């Protein structure tokens, strides 16, 4: 039985809940330590049950840890889940309110034969996932390493006349040869004015000389994600672009130097936001400063101006201030940091910016 | 105002509902004809409103059709949505029960200031999406074309000593040079015994001589998806493998020749399943025969033994029987078909199998 499961048991006991139905794939992957899709997991002291259909059962028989019983889905998964609650004699079963859809909730509820309460829960597993174990950190470091190598490699490929999508093509190829299973999200290659859209969709646009090319890339290494952004410049850099770049870079440094255990998370966001606002570009920094990363690209903690929680050692998140001048250009610089007992470690330290 | 929106209005009127809150990205993309993420869409005769946050508003101002009002999310999206229901004087608002999560439902409900009923709805938009327009078909054809080219291209690359992930790397690169935005799902490259897992995760395994290599690949072309599977053979083919291959191929043909408007969908599934079962491999065909495809890789109609609905012209779906012999090998052959007024068109006709 792994520590995470024991911690869930303790949390359930404190909430007077005797089982937890988990539906978020990343949460299931975290607890079972296998790559999970299309599954449900019931965690309870009586029995931990992994529900999967016949597409997956052969692999699961081989890979599923013996702390979990494999239950094959034949017919309605909702009836199976409801019957299982009954069979185990559960009275109060938690579910993940942020991930279970209304229709599934209703279907399970309908199939319950006994008086069983379904209790909404929040972040029971996500809360554990905020604090990375050494084994998790190792995978995040490797994912980050591959991403750094990819960004170094692509620098020489980017040139006037290349399409954005061709740059993405080469990156997608490169990361797999370096051991990544896949990209963690659609790689963003945003050239010239396209860089002014924070979530640009990589297009067929040809890169021109004397313009910025923003690349936002992450990879999946054994389930763990990375996420880095750099802006490259071709030819001569406009003065305004250089000015903006330096503001974003300095804003990032202002945020990073505030990071240590015990600091309120909103202070980190505010440090970068204040710096940018003081230089007159506040309204062009239109997103949060960062996000936790691990089994998901975006997970807790959210590094936002509204987050009151405090930093704790072994949290890993992105710091990515940006300034976007509509229809002109955008600059975002994104690194990953680890909160250490003493302060902060920049995981993407050896990548130029 | 596009036809799809008008059709939604008519469906809402029939159900005595005066607004529909849409949360499935593909449904929003379908109605707005732009690539949508992280958004909500309210469709009502009073006003159609697109809710998006500041990361997307700049692009949306340029691209959003004037049938929709853009509403920028500042603070709680749930309060904004609830207030909008009130402002428009809506009394009964539908939501997508299969996509709205319990927590969001609860948050919207909590913010409602007037007595507004939230009504669960099913497949209002998905039902429309089943029948492809000529413009949609054109994109699916192009996505399929790129995928066919990719499978032809990769045949020469596959050789003993190559890793599965390297094959995926070359495919990921190739499709983008041919105009795809991205792969539609993680490309499956399953060599030797790995092919016996229907949903194998492409690994670092090196391909060996005299074994099958199953490749399941789809691409995204302007939002529309493709999905094809082929099995390649290196060196000499075991007799049993050849036998299984021919059974799967024949089962696929049995299914395809049944396809025409008016036929019950389960008949299609059963035709392939019966053929495989009669040859003694029924229990090794462990998934549905196929699935609809369009803006999503898996959408309606589901081509399963339980689907009672009838085929209609302009439906597009996969036909993908498979036989998986545990820990030995698996064979799946997947093509895309279009239901025509007269019968069926094989969209991936010119790809060898």
Both A175 and A304 in a single domain? yes
Both A27 and A84 in a single domain? yes
Domain assignment present for B351:
no
Any idea what the CATH number is for the domain that residue A230 is in? Answer: 3.90.230.10
Cα B73 from chain centroid (whole Å): 29
Both A123 and A163 in a single domain? no
Smallest Cβ distance to B169: which of A105, A173, A186? A173
Put simply, whether B3 touches A (Cβ < 8 Å) is no
Domain assignment present for A353:
no
Domain assignment present for B353:
no
Cβ of B197 within 8 Å of Cβ of A58? The answer is yes
Both B119 and B165 in a single domain? no
Nearest-angstrom CA–CA distance, A113 and A107: 12
Please provide residue B81's backbone torsions phi and psi, each rounded to the nearest 5 degrees: -65, -45
Using the 3D structure, point to which of A99, A129, A159 is the last residue of a domain.
Answer: A129
pLDDT of residue A331: 98
CA atoms within 13 A on the CB side of B138: 4
Put simply, whether B119 touches A (Cβ < 8 Å) is no
Both B13 and B141 in a single domain? no
Beta-carbon count within 10 A of B74 CB: 9
Both A122 and A138 in a single domain? no
pLDDT of residue A230: 98
Nearest in space to A44 (alpha carbons), one of A17, A82, A63, A75: A17
Both A234 and A95 in a single domain? no
Question: Do residues A197 and A120 make contact, with C-beta atoms less than 8 angstroms apart?
Answer: no
Cβ of A102 within 8 Å of Cβ of B100? The answer is yes
Residues from chain A that touch B305, judged by Cβ atoms under 8 A, are none
- In a structure prediction context, what are the per-residue pLDDT tens digits for chain B, which is 353 residues long? 689 999 999 999 999 999 999 999 999 999 999 999 999 999 999 999 999 998 899 889 999 999 999 999 998 999 999 999 999 999 999 999 999 999 999 999 999 988 899 999 999 999 999 999 999 999 999 999 999 999 999 999 999 999 999 999 999 999 999 999 999 999 999 999 999 999 899 999 999 999 999 999 999 999 999 999 999 999 998 999 999 999 999 999 999 999 999 999 999 999 999 999 999 999 999 999 999 999 999 999 999 999 999 999 999 999 999 999 998 999 999 999 999 999 999 999 878 88
What number of C-beta contacts closer than 8 Å exist between A and B?
A: 117
Whether the predicted model's global pTM rises above the 0.80 cut: yes
Number of compact structural domains in chain A? 2
pLDDT of residue B160: 97
Domain assignment present for A325:
yes
Cα B20 from chain centroid (whole Å): 23
Q: Which residues contact A122 (CB under 8 A, 6 or more apart)?
A: A96, A97, A98, B103
Both A99 and A142 in a single domain? no
Cβ of A55 within 8 Å of Cβ of B165? The answer is no
Q: Residues A75-105: pLDDT tens digits?
A: 899 999 999 999 999 999 999 999 999 999 9
Smallest Cβ distance to A101: which of B100, B197, B198? B100
Using the 3D structure, point to which of A129, A146, A170 is the last residue of a domain.
Answer: A129
Nearest-angstrom CA–CA distance, A13 and B157: 56
Smallest Cβ distance to B287: which of A54, A103, A175? A54
Question: Do residues B245 and B170 make contact, with C-beta atoms less than 8 angstroms apart?
Answer: no
Domain that holds residue A87: 3-129
Nearest-angstrom CA–CA distance, B59 and B75: 20
pLDDT at A1 over 80: no
Q: At what angle do helices A134-155 and A164-177 cross, to 10 degrees?
A: 130
pLDDT of residue B1: 65
Domain assignment present for A121:
yes
Both B177 and B40 in a single domain? no
Nearest in space to A207 (alpha carbons), one of A167, A239, A171, A147: A167
Nearest-angstrom CA–CA distance, B184 and B214: 17
Both B303 and B247 in a single domain? yes
Mean pLDDT estimate for chain A: 96
The complex's ipTM works out to 0.94
Both A102 and A148 in a single domain? no
Using the 3D structure, point to which of B114, B129, B144 is the last residue of a domain.
Answer: B129
Q: Residues B56-70: pLDDT tens digits?
A: 998 899 999 999 999
Nearest-angstrom CA–CA distance, B222 and B218: 13
Beta-carbon count within 10 A of A346 CB: 14
Q: Residues B79-116: pLDDT tens digits?
A: 999 999 999 999 999 999 999 999 999 999 999 988 89
Any idea what the CATH number is for the domain that residue A72 is in? Answer: 3.40.350.10
Both A118 and A149 in a single domain? no
Please provide residue A249's backbone torsions phi and psi, each rounded to the nearest 5 degrees: -60, -45
Q: Residues A98-122: pLDDT tens digits?
A: 999 999 999 999 999 878 999 999 9
Put simply, whether B109 touches A (Cβ < 8 Å) is no
SS (H, E, C) A234-273: CCCCCHHHHHHHHHHHHHHHHHHCCCCCCCEHHHHHHHHH
Nearest in space to A252 (alpha carbons), one of A325, A321, A352: A321
């Amino acid at each position: 039985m792994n520590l995470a499961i024991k911690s869930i048991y303790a949390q359930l006991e404190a909430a007077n809940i005797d089982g937890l139905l988990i539906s978020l794939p990343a949460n299931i992957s975290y607890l079972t330590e296998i790559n999970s899709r299309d599954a449900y997991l019931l965690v309870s002291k009586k029995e931990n049950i992994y529900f999967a259909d016949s597409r997956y059962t052969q692999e699961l028989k081989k890979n599923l840890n013996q702390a979990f019983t494999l239950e094959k889905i034949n017919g309605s998964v909702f009836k199976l889940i409801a019957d299982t609650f009954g069979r185990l004699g559960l009275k109060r079963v938690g579910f993940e309110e942020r991930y279970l859809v209304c229709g599934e909730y209703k279907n399970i509820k309908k199939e319950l034969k006994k008086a069983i309460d379904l209790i909404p829960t929040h972040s029971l597993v996500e809360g554990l996932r905020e604090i990375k174990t050494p084994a998790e950190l190792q995978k995040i470091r490797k994912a980050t390493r591959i991403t750094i190598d990819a960004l170094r490699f692509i620098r020489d490929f980017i040139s006037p006349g290349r399409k954005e999508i061709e740059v993405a093509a080469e990156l997608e190829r490169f990361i797999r040869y370096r051991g990544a299973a896949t990209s963690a999200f659609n790689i963003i290659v945003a050239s010239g004015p396209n860089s002014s859209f924070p979530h640009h969709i990589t297009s067929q646009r040809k890169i021109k000389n004397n313009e910025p090319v923003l690349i936002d890339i992450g990879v999946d290494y054994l389930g763990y994600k990375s996420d880095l952004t750099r802006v490259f410049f071709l030819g001569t850099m406009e003065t305004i672009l250089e000015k903006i770049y330096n503001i974003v870079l300095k804003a990032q440094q202002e945020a990073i130097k505030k990071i240590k255990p015990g600091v309120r998370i909103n202070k980190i966001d505010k440090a970068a936001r204040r710096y940018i606002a003081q230089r007159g570009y506040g309204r062009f920094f239109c997103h949060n400063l960062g996000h936790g990363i691990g089994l998901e690209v975006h997970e807790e903690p959210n590094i936002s101006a509204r987050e009151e929680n405090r930093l704790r050692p072994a949290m890993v998140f992105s710091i990515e201030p940006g300034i976007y001048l509509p229809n002109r250009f955008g600059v975002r610089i994104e690194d990953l940091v680890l909160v250490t007992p003493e302060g902060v470690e920049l995981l993407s330290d050896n990548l130029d910016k």
